[in-house]
Chains A and B, each alone.
Chain A
Amino acid sequence: MEPDFRRASLIRKGIIYLLATIWLIITIYPIIFLIQNSLKSNMDFFSGDPWDFPAVWMFENYTAVLEQDFFRYTANSFITVGVSLIILVLAGSLAAFGLSRIRFRFRNLLYLLFVGGLTIPIHITLIPVYNLTRIMGIYDSLGALIGPYVAFNLPVTVFILTSFMSELPRSLEEAAYMDGAKRLQVYWNIMLPISRPAVTAVIILDAVVLWNEFIFPLVLINSEKYRPLTLALWNFQGEFTAKIPLMMASLVLASLPLFLIYAIARERLIEGMVVGAVKG
Chain B
Amino acid sequence: MTTRTSNMAAGFAFVAPALLIYLFYFMLPIPLSALYSLFKWDGISPMTNFRGLNNYIRLFGDSVFWISFFNNVKLVILSLVIQLPMGLLLGLLVSSRLRGLGAYKLLFFVPMTISAVAIGITWKFIYEPNFGLLNTLLIKIGLENLALGWLGEPGLAMGAVIATISWQYIPLYMVIFAAALSGIPRELTEAAYIDGASGLQTFLHVTLPLLRGSIRTASILSITGSLKYFALIFVMTEGGPNYASELMATYMYKQAFTTFRMGYGSAIAVIMFVLSFWVTILALRIGKQSEGLSGT
Contact = CB atoms under 8 A, between A and B. Distances in A.
A204 B66 CA distance: 38
Interface in A140-170: 147-148, 150-152, 154-155, 158
Contacts, number: 268
B238 to A, nearest CB: 11
A98 B14 contact: yes
B126 A33 contact: yes
A19 B26 contact: no
Given A30-B123, A102-B7, A126-B269, A117 B18 contact: no
13 contacts: A19-B93, A24-B107, A50-B125, A94-B17, A113-B22, A121-B227, A121-B276, A125-B26, A183-B10, A233-B121, A244-B131, A247-B121, A277-B176
A49 B254 CA distance: 36
A181 interface: no
A97 interface: yes
Nearest to B164: A30
Most buried by A among B28, B122, B252, B266: B122
Contact of A99 (B15, B107, B230): B15
B98 A154 contact: no
Interface string B244-262: 0000010011001100001
B54 interface: no
A44 to B, nearest CB: 11
B30 interface: yes
Interface of B: 4, 7-8, 10-15, 17-19, 21-22, 24-30, 32-33, 36, 43, 89-90, 93-94, 96, 98, 101, 104, 106-118, 121-123, 125-126, 131-133, 136-137, 140, 167, 171-172, 175-176, 179, 199, 217, 221, 224-225, 227-228, 230-231, 235, 249, 252-253, 256-257, 262, 265-266, 269-270, 272-273, 276-277, 279-280
Contacts of B273: 120-121, 124
Contacts of B117: 212, 214, 230, 233-234
A248 B121 CA distance: 9
A98 B10 contact: yes
Nearest to A182: B10
Most buried by B among A31, A148, A258, A278: A278
B93 A110 contact: no
B33 A128 contact: yes
A12 interface: yes
A78 interface: no
A107 interface: yes
Interface of A: 12-13, 16-17, 19-20, 23-24, 26-31, 33-34, 37, 45-46, 49-51, 87, 90-92, 94-95, 97-99, 102-107, 110, 113-114, 117, 119-132, 147-148, 150-152, 154-155, 158, 183, 187, 208, 211-212, 214-215, 219, 229-230, 233-234, 237, 244, 247-248, 251, 254-255, 258-259, 261-262, 266, 269-270, 273-274, 277-278
Contacts of A230: 115, 117-118, 231
